Amino acid sequence: MGEQWRAQFDAEVSFANGGGLRTEGFRLDIPGQEITDDELAAVFVRHLGLLMVAEVRISAKSIIEEPHKGGRGVAVGQPTPGRRLIELSHVISDGMTTLPGWPRPRVSDWLTFAASRDRYAPGTEFHVARIDLIANTGTYVDTPAHRWAGADDLTGVSLDRLADLPGVVVRVPAGTRAVDRLMLAPYEVAGCAVLLHTGWDVHFGTERYGAAEAPHLTGDAARALVDAGAVLVGIDSINIDEMSPTAGGERPAHSTLLAAGIPIVEHLTGLDALPPAGFRFTAAPPMVAGMGTFPVRAFAVVNP
């Protein structure tokens, strides 16, 4: 297994939303004998899963040759911590509900293992499934053609609007219905995928998911994101626009963002696992001509 090292240190943590945390004599697995205070702070934050950290001050640091105990900062037996891939999509399954009242997907066999045996050499068999679904199923992307006739569809939106984008998470306070311009003001979003973390995804698949109080983005906030240079906007709610009867069927966020060529990803999940920034976001659909929406495998890459 070779030499393994742990750090013992005191830490003082300040949080961006107020408050702090102090530890004394904390011991933590580290990837090697040499580690800077900044590197140790990053491993410490990952190990504890701390969110909204503004600053970590390390003191009284010493390095000890000691077997690893295991932790999220450093994998046991690995020389360096690796990148993390974070799933941000809902599973699509037979009969599931994405939007209440809309058709559900049907998953079936087109070719079974048993039926395929007559087609191939002995011992060789294959399975081919079939899925029948509407485009707005699970976690999906809206392209301009979803809202505007003749605009770019799935084939017209370039990958630099959908894949490997620098990401920013906007943490929306619990109970907030409308995400407005002022809530976005603290964030630098130019060139970024802006992901609105409302926490509403916990209701996915239930009647409450489609309730009138579901969080949404206001039209004014959508205009602010366009003006600030965002390249994609996502949300973990049922719709980026308000869907209550009082909205009167208007969709200002869709209209504004898609008119500006900014894709929208709806029905995200797992945004609580992301750091505030410093990750890469991907939500790329297949290139299907004539379609404005389609399910995606949305995910984030968080590098060490």
Residues 6+ apart with CB under 8 A from 47: 28, 71, 72, 73
Share above pLDDT 70 across residues of the chain, in percent, rounded to a whole number: 95
| pTM exceeding 0.85 | no
Could you give the CA distance from residue 171 to residue 289 in angstroms, rounded to a whole number?
Answer: 35
Instruction: Work out whether strand 165-171 and strand 193-197 pair parallel, antiparallel, or are unpaired.
Output: parallel
pLDDT per residue over 181-193, tens digit each? 999 999 999 999 9
CA neighbor of 167 nearest in space, from 226, 232, 112: 232
pLDDT > 60? residue 35: yes
Mean pLDDT across 245-268: 97
CA neighbor of 151 nearest in space, from 258, 295, 265, 293: 258
Question: What strands lie across the sheet with 140-142, from one edge to the other?
Answer: 84-87, 299-302, 277-282, 165-171, 193-197, 232-235, 264-266, 140-142, 293-295
- Which pLDDT band holds residue 76 (cuts at 50, 70, 90)? very low
pLDDT per residue over 196-211, tens digit each? 999 999 999 999 999 9
Mean pLDDT across 67-87: 66
Compare 289 and 50 and report the one with higher pLDDT: 289
Question: What is the biggest distance separating any 2 CA atoms in the chain, rounded to whole angstroms?
Answer: 71
Helices (H), the chain: 37-48, 113-116, 181-184, 219-228, 252-259
CB atoms within 10 A of CB 13: 19
